[in-house]
């Protein structure tokens, strides 16, 4: 990743999604759940990097979300991880797609990327 892209990424701070004014109850609940899971996913990724264990399987993250939130869709964790990546809040590489094996590069925080 170029230094310019890293500088741009370090300026980003993840903000939980919010429902738009006048949104339906379902939309508000979805935004609330995605906000909670998104924060949990970012925390989990930060902990992995801090522990020196950046490689993980998608099932590891799904299990974390399941333990933290008592279930939910098995795809929720990976969908939210992809959304965080798309927003530049987490950077990871797919090591082996057939095994859902990933490696974290950086995770956003209020003070930038680590």
pLDDT of residue 103 exceeding 50, the answer is yes
pLDDT in tens, 59-71: 999 999 989 887 6
- Pick 105 or 72 by higher pLDDT: 105
Give the pLDDT confidence score for residue 7 in this predicted structure: 42
Residues 6+ apart with CB under 8 A from 38: 14, 16, 17, 80, 83, 84
CA atoms within a 13 Å half-sphere pointing along the CA-CB vector of 18: 5
pTM over 0.95? The answer is no
pLDDT of residue 83 exceeding 70, the answer is yes
pLDDT in tens, 16-51: 556 566 668 777 666 666 777 888 899 999 999 999
Q: In which residue are the tokens 């003070």 written?
A: 111
Q: Enumerate domains of the chain plus CATH numbers.
A: 25-113 (1.10.10.10)
Where is 74: in which H helix or E strand? none
The token duo for 51 is 């522990």
User: How far is 5 from 45, CA to CA, in rounded Å?
Assistant: 20
């Amino acid at each position: 990743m170029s230094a310019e892209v890293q500088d741009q990424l370090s300026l980003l701070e993840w903000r939980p999604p919010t429902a738009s004014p006048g949104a339906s109850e379902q939309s508000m609940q979805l935004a609330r759940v995605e906000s909670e899971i998104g924060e949990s996913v970012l925390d989990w990724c930060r902990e992995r990097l801090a522990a020196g264990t950046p490689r993980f399987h998608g099932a590891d993250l799904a299990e974390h979300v399941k333990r933290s939130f008592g279930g939910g869709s098995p795809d929720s964790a990976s969908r939210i991880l992809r959304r965080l990546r798309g927003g530049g809040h987490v950077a990871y590489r797919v090591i082996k797609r057939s095994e859902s094996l990933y490696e974290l590069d950086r995770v956003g925080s209020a003070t930038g990327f680590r």
